[in-house]
Amino acid sequence: QCGWCGGEGSTMICTKCRLVDYCGVECQTQDWKAGHKIFCAKLPKAVKKAEEKVASFSLSDYTTRNVGTFMVTEAEARRGQILEERAAQDICYDAMDMTKGSTEKLIEILHALGTFPLSTEAWGMLGHFYQFEVDPKGSREKLCCAEALKMHDTAILCARKLNPTWSDDRSDELSWGEIENRPYLRALLGRAQCLKSTGKRDEAIRQAKKIMRLNPGDNQGVRKLLCSWFLEARDTEGCTNLLRKFDTKDDACLAYTDVLLQ
């Protein structure tokens, strides 16, 4: 299907990203002018530049201020709030209100990444953009998921560089109620979904379990995904044990699953 006019029987493909088909040169040219050049050309360059900044991160390159210890992350209480990180987060909030898959939204996300290359939220939103907003067809869906996984992995890397106690084996909770924790939790969930979409179900289940340990209140609805993944893996015991930790009466999907298991 043509990525510009929607017509069937496309005969061309963007040779740069290999994710979009076209009827012909005219449609490809119109789509390029309308914004595909941002996704296809500027996005890879911006990602590469930000990755270099992540690799060479030094706190001294940024501006910090003391914000006390109330409702801040452990790292912020120790080293202060990074002003560029806060500015990038505000830009990301603006991007969240923009049209799904739009060029304007992508530009705003890249703006956030340029403002603070270690923005966990910006990297996570790029992952979400690749996975859910590009809308590729067929085998290219896996290509997008693979790119999305890279973005989420970088988001998690950035979060852990900024918050050293958020290691992979962390056992203490990270409350969803503390807003600063949310970009990291969203990135972990995005990674789990990408793993599942790329056929790595068992790894996705392990990732989802970790999220549940960090955020046992499950404000993200991970238990619903985890239940379906358990059942797909024929792990009825795992699914049953998970359901016993929650009151399923107020959720028709979980209640029905519980009844079937019984």
pLDDT per residue, tens digit, the chain (262 aa), is 788 888 887 778 888 887 888 899 999 999 898 888 888 889 999 999 999 999 999 999 999 999 888 878 889 999 999 999 999 999 999 999 999 989 999 999 999 999 999 999 999 999 999 999 987 666 678 888 999 999 999 999 999 999 999 999 999 999 999 999 999 999 999 999 999 999 999 999 999 999 999 999 999 999 999 999 999 999 999 999 999 988 888 888 888 888 888 8
pLDDT given at position 137: 62
22 contact partners, CB below 8 Å, separation of at least 6: 2, 3, 4, 10, 11, 12, 13, 14, 28, 31
pLDDT given at position 72: 83
pLDDT given at position 68: 87
Q: By the 8 A CB rule, do 7 and 23 touch? A: yes
pLDDT given at position 12: 87
CA-based diameter of the chain, in Å? 60
Phi, psi of 64 (to 5 degrees): -120, 155
pTM, two decimal places: 0.90
Handedness of CA 170, 175, 176, 181 (dihedral sign): negative
Decide: helix, strand or coil at residue 31. Answer: helix
pLDDT given at position 256: 86
| Residue bearing tokens 């955020």 | 215
pLDDT given at position 15: 85
pLDDT given at position 8: 84
